[in-house]
Amino acid sequence: MPIASLSPGPFIALVCLLITVLCHAARQYHPEPALRLLGMGTFAGAIGLPLVMMRPPVPEWVAIPIGNSIVLLALALFWQATMRLYGRPLFRWGLAAPVLLWLGLCAFGWFRHSLALRVEIAMAMVAGLVFLPLCRLARPPRETRTQLALLVIGGVHVVCSAVRGLLTAMPGLFPWEGLVNAAIPFEMLSYVVLWPGLMLILVAERAMRQTRTMAFQDDMTGVLNRRGFWQAAEALPRRGVLLFDIDHFKHINDTFGHAAGDRVIRHFSTVATDALGPDVLFGRIGGEEFAAAVSGLSHEALYAVAERVRLTFAETVTPPGVRATVSIGIAAPAAPGLPLGEQMALADRALYRAKHQGRNRTEGDGSDPVHSPASTPVPPREGVTPRAPGWWRRLYIRGADQDASGDAAFLGCRRDRHPGAGITDHAADFDRVGRAGG
């Protein structure tokens, strides 16, 4: 038998089964509920489409009620997969209603024996089931071009379904009716294959975006982590850098518990994010230490921004009744080509001076001296010697992706605080101090 004489039903079934297998495989790596519904829809299409298309030898009493109802179920599953992808709960009646409606109509002889009526009602139901997910996809935000492609594919299918229904109800409406009748089945088959394929791509793109976000986001606070901050800050022109270190953080942990310490960290992140505004990069670079980078501000403007954060945080109380302060070091806007690591080292030295001069204050890097008359330094507690923020945290969080010259400058600054000390010399301190901070 020539290949050209074979029905396209088996080929469509094979493609649908392939997409079903891909959906199942994707679920092993990304447990997205929409993938399960999408796989079920393509599996239903692999069964329903051959039943509808292969007449004969498939008898009418199987193809009309059963085959068409399975195809409608596949479209309803595509609709619900789209809604689940955007966080909506599964609407089971939305799956059952099209099937029950079609089977109920097929119970009447006048419906089964009227080709025109069957086509008109089937096209109306198909257009409705395709239009419903388009309503959700059309809402902002537009995530990727794949979403736009889904809108185009779905819109074309709605138009083709409407045209076929009109041609059935009013024969001779268009002079090119023969061409339309020949193209519409091809378009319908293309929809059943392209829609789930594009949906699978959309799920994969969303999973990659989520993975990228997780790689650059701090789990506890939701702000940038060290890697995300470093990558974004390196691209800023004429950037100024602020380093923040919550004062007496070890004392907070020892007195109120680590859960209270975590609340203080989250509270400072919220206060700083609100005070800095949307134009400032802000991230948690380790423990109780945070950093901010902003482009185009003078040293005086950076100091004003730092003071706004410091004063706002000092005036608030973190449940359960913890009042904490923060010390801040400033590095002036960088000259072109200055590595971020060297600039962070300057800000770190300024932060160290703020710690030694009483904490709860802002200090500059010395390039443009900063005085803080508004600061209200907190004297050290009895028996506690002011010290630098834990050097080990900075060593621990330095990634292999960091600029080598920046690494050397930053770690050199840390060794200046502990002359003659290296990583090996302070291994015992790392184990003993734990999360301690200045």
Q: Check whether residue 204 and residue 279 sit in a common domain.
A: no
Pick from 181, 215, 249: which residue ends a domain? Answer: 215
Backbone dihedral angles phi then psi of residue 31, each to the nearest 5 degrees? -75, 65
Domain assignment present for residue 267? The answer is: yes
Q: Domain total for the chain?
A: 2
Angstrom distance (rounded) from CA 216 to CA 71: 43
Angstrom distance (rounded) from CA 100 to CA 113: 19
* pLDDT on residue 174: 63
Q: Check whether residue 332 and residue 189 sit in a common domain.
A: no
Q: Check whether residue 263 and residue 294 sit in a common domain.
A: yes
Task: List beta partners, residue 281.
Answer: 293
Pick from 188, 215, 242: which residue ends a domain? Answer: 215
Q: Check whether residue 235 and residue 284 sit in a common domain.
A: yes
Q: Check whether residue 302 and residue 264 sit in a common domain.
A: yes
Farthest CA pair distance, the chain: 98
pLDDT digits 0-9 by tens, 162-201: 888 887 777 766 666 666 666 666 777 778 888 888 999 9
* pLDDT on residue 425: 34
* pLDDT on residue 401: 40
* pLDDT on residue 386: 37
Q: Check whether residue 203 and residue 249 sit in a common domain.
A: no
Domain assignment present for residue 282? The answer is: yes
Q: Check whether residue 211 and residue 275 sit in a common domain.
A: no
Question: Which candidate, 301, 306, 302, 298, places its Cα nearest to that of 272?
Answer: 306
Question: Which candidate, 396, 346, 397, 347, places its Cα nearest to that of 225?
Answer: 397
Angstrom distance (rounded) from CA 54 to CA 43: 17
- CATH code of the domain containing 360: 3.30.70.270
The pTM for the full model equals: 0.64
Domain assignment present for residue 355? The answer is: yes
* pLDDT on residue 238: 86
Angstrom distance (rounded) from CA 220 to CA 154: 40
Q: Check whether residue 394 and residue 258 sit in a common domain.
A: yes
Domain assignment present for residue 220? The answer is: no
Low-confidence spans in the chain with pLDDT less than 50: 1-4, 369-437
Q: Check whether residue 184 and residue 231 sit in a common domain.
A: no
Domain assignment present for residue 148? The answer is: yes
Angstrom distance (rounded) from CA 310 to CA 303: 10
CA 391, 219, 362, 293 torsion-angle sign:
positive
* Contact assessment for residue 212 and residue 206, using Cβ atoms and an 8 Å cutoff: no
Domain assignment present for residue 221? The answer is: no
Q: Check whether residue 71 and residue 124 sit in a common domain.
A: yes
Pick from 192, 215, 238: which residue ends a domain? Answer: 215
Range of the domain at 8: 3-215
Q: Check whether residue 249 and residue 321 sit in a common domain.
A: yes
* pLDDT on residue 167: 78
Domain assignment present for residue 438? The answer is: no
> CA angle 341-345-348, nearest 5°?
135
Q: Which two tokens stand for residue 113?
A: 């024996």
Domain assignment present for residue 165? The answer is: yes
* pLDDT on residue 6: 53
Give the Å distances, CA to CA, from 1 to 5, 7, 152. Answer: 7, 11, 37
Q: Check whether residue 164 and residue 104 sit in a common domain.
A: yes
